Structure 1
Amino acid sequence: MNTTDSEVFVDTKFLLHRVKFSILLILQIPAFILSLLIFFFFIKHRTIREAPHNRALLILLIVNFIQLLFAIPLSLSFYAVGYVSPATPTFCTWWTFFDFTLYVTSEYLMATISVQRHMLVFNGHILRIRWKRILFHHLPLVFCLTYPITFYVFVIILYPCEGAPWDYGSNLCGAADCYLVFNKFLGTFDWGFNNGLPMVINALANIMLIVRVVQQKKRQQRPVTWKQQRRMTVQLFCISSLYLVIWSPSLIVGLVQILGFPTFLADVQTEYFVFILDTICLFLPWICIGLLPELLVWIKTLCRCQQRHNAVGSVITRTQLNK
């Protein structure tokens, strides 16, 4: 590569980083505001907050909010300067640990929400029994929060390895943790069990929920129309498709790399697919609005009250001026 080609490559990469920085920042601001509105909504409405079907959702939103506050700013910092800072193995180790843990926790929580919804819709009486509520509702949530932390402490923080091939010119240091680069079994297990499995469960659970609802309505001899099922179908499709669409390219490329082709689409993985993963937490608050119809009503009420307050203030101001 001659000097001209090198300059063009650097300019192109700089422009690409500028675009990514702008996209993340533009999406982060409304996602942050919307998350705060959702939290205020839960605080104001105790009954809704303590409803069984909203507990896991609230935990998911808290994890997502942590990503918005800490994980996204790290990516923004990288795209702003064009390199990892500080460029040290310790920083890369903790950055990947933090990101991977939040990613997997979010995936497992979403999959758990989808599975638990079957029980809440068709067997809601189960949660009235204390030991069943603990077994089928509380323990899965505890697993979602503790398993990812435990797993990545062992494979990232405590994994015995020296000379990890960190790439300080790539976001997330190129995700070059030793267990992914040098341990085929752990790498495959991570991508398959920690990322692929919850995504598949999420998609299948939502599809099966639609099938069960339709079948139950048919057994009850009630007419099933697309208008009646549209809202539920769109909600479930958005939940499953968000993770399916965004995670699938990265999962496929990662598995191919682990199974013997470490350079397969390596640049595309680090430059594009890792970046796309960051958008999950930016879009998730918008999807959660569809899961909380009461929230939409509350937001609309706030907007009307604000408009009335502004209108009253304007009238008072004009009256004072006329005097």
Structure 2
Amino acid sequence: MSLPPEFWIARTANILSIISAFCALSLLLFDRTLRRALHNHIIIVLLSVVFVRSVSNLFYNIYINLLADLAWNPILYYLIWFFIDYALYSTQIILVVWAAIERHILIFHDQWLRMRSKRFLLHYLPIIILLTYSLIFFSVITFVPFCQNSADNILAGITTNPCSLDNEMLGSWELICHHIVGIFIIVLSSLTLIVRIIRQKQRLHQSVQWRKHRKPTIQMLLTSMFYLVCDTPWVTIIFALRYGLSYDIVAIPLTNAFMLRDYVTHMYPFISILSSSDLRHKLRRMVLCWRKRQAILPDGTIQLAVTRRRQTAIN
């Protein structure tokens, strides 16, 4: 089967995303200091969601395009693809919204998290609730039969959402609450975080323990900017379409915005590594150690051979 270059480009990016997400997760989970740092917990959850979405999309696309025929059950295929692709993507946005809010607690109100009970209520419980909510909400709108999806539309590539999102209440809730309000909260939280840091630094005439808070602050700001850049164009176009704009006007921009949104999953593991100096240093050390072993092994092998020859000659 001959597949377009876009398929192989996307799958290559998919594989690189899986590798980088796996490396970042391994470093965060197996290093005790990184694993116990509270500001890394939401990053671990985000990377886990990205890893699951990347692996699922890779195998599903390979299976459908190379091994299978959509005729077996096109509606089921479409719904599963939507859940894997879109539900996990929206879950990422929801988690980033909470991460932007939580950074204020971690930096300016860390005393709230010293007690185990408060740490559970303010740190762990929100993540559990958001993941549970996302799983239930997108499972319901994807698989509960509110309406009848058309197999002809699915096969023709006309439908971009399950028909449940054509419902005014469900569609508006998903778009406005998960994305538009989410973008607003991310922007507001990021800007107020910068302002609070500057004001406290000026008021106390010190760096506000900047060395302590620099890493989580930079990490969060880069993550927020990345998701804003990738999500805002798509949300803007979808919002305009839902409330009256003609599809013919935005057909090409919508395709480009969809591709940009899709690359959130592919690029986020790299962003998480670049925004964390700890991960960068550990990866650099791993690469240097691997290169050193590769360089030492031939010399060591030669030296061992020379030693054995000398012993043989003496005997």
> 1:102-113 residue pairs with structure 2 within 5 A?
102-113=88-99
Distance 1:42 1:235 in 2: 14
What TM-score results when the alignment is normalised by the length of structure 1? 0.81
The 2-side partners of 1:244 and 1:61 are apart by: 17
CA drift at 1:269 = 6.4
Per-residue deviation, 1:61? 0.7
* Percentage of matched positions with identical amino acids: 24
1:288 to 268, 272, 279: 272
> What's 1:4 paired with?
none
1:220–1:110 Cα change, 3 Å: same
State the TM-score, normalizing by the size of structure 2: 0.83
Q: Which moved more, 1:195-204 or 1:300-309?
A: 195-204
State the SS of the aligned residue for 1:168.
Answer: helix
Tell me, in whole angstroms, the C-alpha distance in 2 between the residues paired with 1:157 and 1:90. Answer: 9
Quote the residue 1:53 is aligned against: 39
Conserved in 2, the CA contact under 8 Å of 1:92 and 1:166?
Answer: no
Structure 2 Cα separation of the partners of residues 184 and 112 of structure 1? 26
For residue 121 of structure 1, report the CA deviation from its aligned partner: 0.7
Match of 1:158 in 2: 144
Deviations 1:109-128 (A, max 9, x none): 11211211111111111111
Q: Is the 8 A contact 2:234 2:254 kept in 1?
A: no
Higher-Rg structure is 2
Task: Output the aligned Cα RMSD.
Answer: 3.1
Q: Which has the higher contact order (CA 8 A, sep 6+)?
A: 2
Q: The residue matched to 2:146 in structure 1 has which SS?
A: coil
CA contact (8 A) 1:289 1:295 kept: yes
In structure 2, the gaps of 5 or more residues are: 310-315
Unpaired runs of 5+ residues, structure 1, are 1-14
* Cα distance change, pair 214–167 in 1 and its aligned pair in 2 (3 A): same
Partner residue, 1:130: 116
Task: Determine the structure 2 residue equivalent to 1:317.
Answer: 301
Aligned amino acid, residue 166 of structure 1: N
CA distance in 1, matches of 2:146, 2:20: 42
Q: Distance in 2 between matches of 1:231 and 1:48?
A: 12
Distance in 1 of aligned mates of 2:249 and 2:84: 24
Judged with a 3 Å threshold, the aligned counterparts in structure 2 of structure 1 residues 223 and 56 are, in CA distance, closer, same or farther, namely closer
Aligned-partner SS, 2:154: coil
- 45-54 or 255-264, which deviates more: 255-264
Distance 2:222 2:71 in 1: 36
1:39-50 equivalent positions in 2, closer than 5 A: 39-50=25-36
